[in-house]
């Protein structure tokens, strides 16, 4: 596995990295453009033999478009990897005036749940995509939301066609016997004794399987291809099995269910999908995908051009795990607060964390699409989020670790407003009033009793500017019983107010933010950080005992969630759930969409202003890691044309 970012500019399969076409170009686009250039899809028209209860399927009316699909199995919450696939499939459809279907691959009766269907629908919408064709478009009202289980009647009819044409047979060996005769990577498999059954016998048995006459596991329907094939997936794969199970959509209607590898190509074909884009682990299945659709097309059940499967490398990210099994473990064992915990790489988690959907779209574009395996640095994702938030989030002031400051020469009963811009680069967003007074909250780290070298903030005798307000000098400090500062005393210079003529006469090195005690909004703020403290959770380390397995849970970052009681400027009291801000000097924050109450927001830190992990990695002597982060930044700067 290569480290570093994929540039998204080369077809990894051909390795032509030297060419640098325009950003956004990738091997899938190259394929699509060459096909559109020869009107490949103009001839495409549905002409399948309608099965019982079948309705007209997508694409019948507008054959010239590309159609992609995102086909989740509704058995879990979507994660960042799925976001890559969603952005790719919906993005291609958008860019080429095509369609992208949201299809629930719910062919397995035992695992699927409505809760997951709902959360997937929400997540795709939240990412900014739709399966609903715009009413202004030429096919108003077209809704491309599908359930694979709606095609069960077609799948059975197609299976009977395969039997009738001598391309499928009922095998009555046990599962163990089938496994034993399957062969290995180096040895061919052996033919089943049932492989030579007549068409009539196969048809009779398959009908009886459908009628529920046999117990689970007693027979399976297998494609009849080649038990000696070098590709194990072509050694007579199972296509239908008996399962006396109730299905969330079709109830008790069926007691035979199709295997995924059989169902998926048929789903694609019925929906007139042109490009069936999936991750690389399906590459070995492609010959079966093509074999099946060819047999059905030969029989006149499908019309050409047939859908084509195209594989790309899945998203892998440092400092996180994307395996469903591991995510379930983290939730079930209580290492996180639930599927929407802001530290999890689920899309519900990301939303709660405050990651903007636009940040995911930008990230998907930056990582690109290729066929080479790679591990993407988590910093690249964070940089995309920062970039979007920097442009859009209004600035506010928050004191996360409050220490009281009293301006002894400021009148006790007085107060005034200071003006602060809502966004330094966007004057159109206006300014707001920050109430100022005699007593303020400042950050504890902005005061030191004994300043270290180069420290320019508050210490006895030193002068700093209170941002957007006055210059003050520290006159004394009160200490608590433990010797820690409890109140900092200052005097202020009345002619030094920011924005007035006198302000320029004061030259100070420190600039400190503050919130007036009167009117401050006390709030819970959660400081989230990476869930794991190492780039590859669970990877063995040099100091692990030889031969030992490392548990990924041992790499959880104990500092991934810290709760503080902060003092916020009054304007934040009315923040609505999911409102995002930059808290000056601290990072980007979002009002939690679950725990915020009217007038009492709770904030989550989305991401810090700068990448502290690159520094940590460098300090730990992990030079490679730091270089990688730096390289990603340079690439990013080159792509965006940003100065740095």
Judge contact between 374 and 279, C-beta under 8 A.
no
Q: Does 279 engage in binding with ligand ATP (CB under 6 A)?
A: yes
CB of 196 to ligand ATP, least distance (A): 35
Q: Which of the following is catalytic: 29, 182, 241, 314?
A: 314
* Helix and strand counts by DSSP (H, E) for the chain: 14, 27
Q: Which residues pair with 431 in a beta bridge?
A: 421
Question: How many residues of this chain interact with ligand ATP, rule: CB under 6 A?
Answer: 14
CA distance linking residue 174 with residue 401, whole number of Å:
66
The distance of closest approach from Cβ of residue 330 to ligand ATP in the complex, given in angstroms and rounded to an integer, is 15
Q: Which entry of 29, 40, 241, 324 is annotated as an active-site residue?
A: 324
Provide the mask over 323-352, with x wherever binding to ligand ATP is found by CB under 6 A and - wherever it is not: -x----------------------------
Residue 583 near residue 589, CB atoms below 8 Å: yes
User: CB under 6 A: which stretch of 2-10, 82-90, 209-217, 498-506 binds ligand ATP?
Assistant: 82-90
Minimum CB distance to ligand ATP, residue 284 (Å): 14
Q: Does 8 bind ligand ATP (CB under 6 A)?
A: no
Q: Pick the catalytic residue from 35, 73, 578, 627.
A: 73
DSSP 379-424: HHHHHHHHHHHHHHPEEE-EESSEEEEEETTS-TT--EEEEEES-T
Minimum CB separation from ligand ATP for residue 102, in Å?
A: 11
81 binds ligand ATP per the rule CB under 6 A: yes
CB of 419 to ligand ATP, least distance (A): 47
The structure tokens listed for 6 are 């994929």
User: What is the pairing mode between strands 99-104 and 145-147?
Assistant: parallel
Q: Find out whether 404 and 437 touch, Cβ atoms under 8 Å.
A: no
Name the residue number minimizing CB distance to ligand ATP.
Answer: 81
Contact yes or no for 249/105 (Cβ under 8 A): no
Binding to ligand ATP in span 395-454, by CB under 6 A? none
Q: Are 309 and 276 in contact (CB under 8 A)?
A: yes
Contact 418, 536 (CB under 8 A): no
Nearer to ligand ATP among residue 72 and residue 537 (C-beta): 72
Tell me if 603 sits within 8 A of 592, measured CB to CB.
Answer: yes
Q: Which two tokens stand for residue 578?
A: 């999911």
With residue 440 as reference, give the H or E element that holds it: strand 439-443
639 is catalytic: no
The Cα–Cα gap between 323 and 631 comes to 27
Candidate ranges 10-18, 66-74, 373-381, 455-463; the one touching ligand ATP (CB under 6 A): 66-74
Which residues neighbour 359 within 8 Å (Cβ) at sequence distance 6 or greater?
381, 384, 385, 387, 388, 389
Alpha carbons 322 and 88: distance in angstroms, whole number:
18
308-327 residues in contact with ligand ATP (CB under 6 A) are: 314-315, 322, 324
| Known active-site residue 142 | no
Q: Residue 400: count other Cβ atoms within 10 Å of its Cβ.
A: 23
Which span sits near ligand ATP by CB under 6 A: 80-88, 146-154, 202-210, 521-529?
Answer: 80-88
The answer to whether residue 358 is catalytic is: no
Q: Nearest approach, Cβ of 84 to ligand ATP (angstroms)?
A: 4
Closest CB to ligand ATP among residues 72, 587: 72
Binding mask 26-65 for ligand ATP (x = CB under 6 A): ----------------------------------------
Interacting residue with ligand ATP among 44, 65, 82, 561 (CB under 6 A): 82
The SS3 of residue 407 is strand
Where on the chain is the footprint of ligand ATP (CB under 6 A)?
71-73, 75, 81-82, 84-85, 278-279, 314-315, 322, 324
Provide the annotated active-site residues: 73, 314, 324
């Amino acid at each position: 596995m290569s480290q570093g970012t994929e540039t998204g500019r080369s077809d990894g399969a051909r390795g032509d990295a030297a060419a640098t076409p325009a950003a956004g170009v990738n091997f899938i686009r190259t394929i699509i453009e060459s096909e559109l250039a020869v009107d490949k899809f103009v001839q495409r028209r549905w002409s399948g033999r309608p099965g019982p209860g079948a309705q007209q399927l997508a694409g019948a009316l507008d054959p010239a478009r590309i159609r992609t699909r995102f086909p989740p199995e509704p058995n879990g919450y979507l994660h960042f990897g799925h976001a890559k696939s969603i952005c790719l499939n919906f993005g291609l459809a958008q860019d080429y005036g095509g369609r992208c279907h949201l299809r629930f691959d719910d062919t397995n009766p035992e695992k699927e749940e409505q809760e997951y269907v709902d959360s997937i629908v929400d997540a795709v919408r939240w990412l900014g995509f739709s399966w609903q064709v715009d009413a202004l478009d030429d096919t108003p009202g077209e809704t491309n939301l599908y359930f694979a289980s709606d095609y069960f009647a077609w799948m059975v009819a197609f299976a009977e066609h395969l039997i009738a044409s001598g391309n499928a047979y009922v095998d009555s060996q046990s599962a163990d016997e089938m496994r034993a005769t399957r062969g290995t990577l180096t040895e061919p498999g052996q033919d089943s004794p049932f492989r030579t059954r007549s068409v009539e016998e196969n048809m009779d048995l398959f009908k009886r399987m459908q009628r529920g006459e046999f117990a689970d596991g007693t027979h399976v329907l297998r494609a009849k291809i080649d038990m000696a094939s070098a590709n194990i997936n072509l050694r007579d794969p199972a296509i239908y099995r008996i399962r006396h199970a109730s299905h969330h959509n079709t109830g008790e209607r069926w007691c035979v269910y199709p295997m995924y590898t059989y169902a998926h190509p048929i789903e694609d074909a019925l929906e007139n999908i042109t490009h069936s884009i999936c991750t690389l682990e399906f590459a070995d299945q492609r010959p079966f995908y093509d074999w099946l659709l060819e047999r059905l097309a030969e029989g006149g059940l499908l019309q050409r051009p047939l859908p084509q499967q195209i594989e790309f490398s899945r998203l892998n990210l440092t400092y996180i795990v994307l395996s469903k099994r591991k995510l379930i473990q983290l939730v079930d064992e209580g290492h996180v607060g639930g599927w929407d915990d802001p530290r999890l790489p689920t899309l519900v988690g990301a939303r709660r964390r405050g990651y903007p959907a636009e940040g995911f779209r930008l990230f998907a574009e930056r990582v690109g699409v290729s066929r080479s395996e790679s591990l993407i640095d988590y910093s690249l994702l964070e940089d995309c989020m920062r970039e979007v938030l920097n442009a859009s989030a209004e600035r506010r002031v928050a004191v996360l670790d409050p220490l009281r400051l009293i301006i002894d020469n400021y009148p006790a009963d007085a107060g005034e407003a200071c003006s602060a811009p809502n966004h330094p680069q966007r004057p159109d967003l206006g300014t707001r009033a920050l109430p100022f007074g005699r007593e303020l909250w400042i950050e504890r780290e902005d005061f030191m009793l004994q300043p270290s070298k180069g420290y320019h903030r508050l210490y006895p005798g030193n002068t700093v500017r209170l941002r957007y307000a006055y210059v003050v000098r520290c006159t004394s400090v009160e200490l608590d019983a433990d010797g820690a500062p409890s109140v900092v005393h200052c005097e202020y210079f009345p002619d030094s107010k920011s924005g007035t003529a006198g302000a320029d006469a004061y030259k100070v090195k420190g600039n400190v933010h503050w919130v007036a005690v009167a009117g401050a909004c006390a709030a819970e703020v959660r400081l989230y950080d990476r869930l794991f403290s190492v780039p590859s959770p669970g990877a063995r380390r040099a100091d692990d005992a030889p031969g030992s397995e490392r548990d990924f849970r041992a790499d959880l970052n104990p500092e991934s969630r810290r709760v503080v009681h902060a003092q916020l400027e009054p304007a934040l009291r009315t923040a609505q759930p999911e409102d995002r801000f930059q808290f000056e000097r601290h990072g980007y924050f979002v009002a939690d969409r679950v725990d915020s109450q009217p007038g009492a927001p709770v904030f989550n830190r989305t991401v810090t202003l700068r990448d502290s992990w690159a520094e940590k990695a460098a300090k730990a002597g992990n030079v490679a890691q730091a270089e990688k982060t730096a390289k990603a930044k340079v690439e990013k700067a080159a792509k965006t044309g940003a100065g740095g």
